Amino acid sequence: MKKLIDKYGRIHDYLRISVTDRCNLRCVYCMPEEGMEFEPSDRILTYEEITEVVSAIAKIGVRKLRLTGGEPLVRKEIEKLIRMLSAVEGIEDIALTTNGMYLEKKAELLKEAGVTRINISLDSLQADRFAMITRGGDLSRVLRGLNAAVRAGFQPIKLNVVLMKGINDDEIADFIRLSIEKPLQIRFIEYMPIGHDDNGWRERYVPLQTIFNTVESMGLTYEKAEHVYGNGPAENFRIPGAGGTFGLIHPVSEHFCDNCNRLRLTADGNIKPCLYWDDEWNVRPLIGNEALIQDLFMRVLDAKPENHEMAKALSQETQSHTPTVRRMSQIGG
């Protein structure tokens, strides 16, 4: 029987689906302010096509899905897709990553449709700074979305914080305090060089060791927190007695490729074995033939590299593959 296990013995049970490359924001680390070209709508996988791909690969081991984008909540009636995916035999978990701007309106619907977990991206707790980083985001609206998600029964909620030197790294202490006060899982993420061909990201990159230094300078101690289901590569910690946790996702300073269990499907139907490299294969022409879809996923897995080399991008060493030219908004993170 076919199983999604690669030549390094990594079992792949997780597919991240970018449902759209469009977004209502333009975060500085993700998209350029202007000039972004979007896929025409006839090149974007329909809900039926996505469900067909998922049904095929659920039979060879995929159990967990994450819907992302672009912004997944800008796709019309996304709850319809979630209902369709929830009905696929073998799928046990459907998570969603959102910027939170439409969450107040959608949280209940998402819960009813079958979303199990929600991550909200929130890089600043200061309204003007949040608007600057996201180029137009409204912090109060995102916080209302967060509260609506709590009311709808999503628990716990994860907050993704991409740290950038000179932009929001002075807020580490505020986020740590938030993890003490609220039952939130704060996840600090290292700024990744996805789709960045300039030096901008290198200058802004903050290694996550900085978090521990900040906790110590606050006069606090921390302890390892229990592994949280669905937290993937995050290492989790807690300030003793805190209501929430904080986690570190450090793809650049210390990759976690040895345990990688994920594949990615872009909105235009490309399967990516690795977030960082440019290899991708389009599944769309095979939709309608389950065996061929499964075979393509097996071939993609065969080509999956042992690891990415983002650290070499930081030290400006030669890399063994070609990094993707896609933006994070086109891959989904």
Binding-residue pattern over the window 95 to 134 for ligand SAM, x denoting contact by CB under 6 A: --xxx---------------------x-------------
Q: Residue 128 in 3-state DSSP?
A: helix
CA distance 86 to 268: 22
Q: Residue 173 in 3-state DSSP?
A: helix
- Binder to ligand SF4 among 4, 15, 17, 30 (CB under 6 A)? 30
- Residue 31 binds ligand SF4 (CB under 6 A): yes
Segment near ligand SF4 (CB under 6 A); pick from 69-77, 84-92, 261-269, 273-281: 69-77
CA distance 113 to 86: 8
Tell me how far, at minimum, the Cβ of 290 lies from ligand SAM, in Å: 29
- Binder to ligand SF4 among 4, 17, 51, 69 (CB under 6 A)? 69
CA distance 44 to 86: 21
Interior/surface letters 301-330, b for 16+ CB within 10 angstroms, e for the rest = beebbebbbbeebbeeeeeeeebbebbbbb
- Residue 162 binds ligand SAM (CB under 6 A): yes
Local structure of residue 316 (DSSP, 8 states)? T
**Window 169 to 228, contacts with ligand SAM (CB under 6 A):** 189, 191-192, 194
- Residue 232 binds ligand SAM (CB under 6 A): no
Question: Token pair 């594949």 is at which residue?
Answer: 263
**Window 5 to 24, contacts with ligand SAM (CB under 6 A):** 23
Local structure of residue 276 (DSSP, 8 states)? S
- Residue 211 binds ligand SF4 (CB under 6 A): no
Which residues in this chain contact ligand SF4 in the complex, by CB under 6 A? 23, 25-27, 30-31, 69-71, 99, 121, 134, 328-329
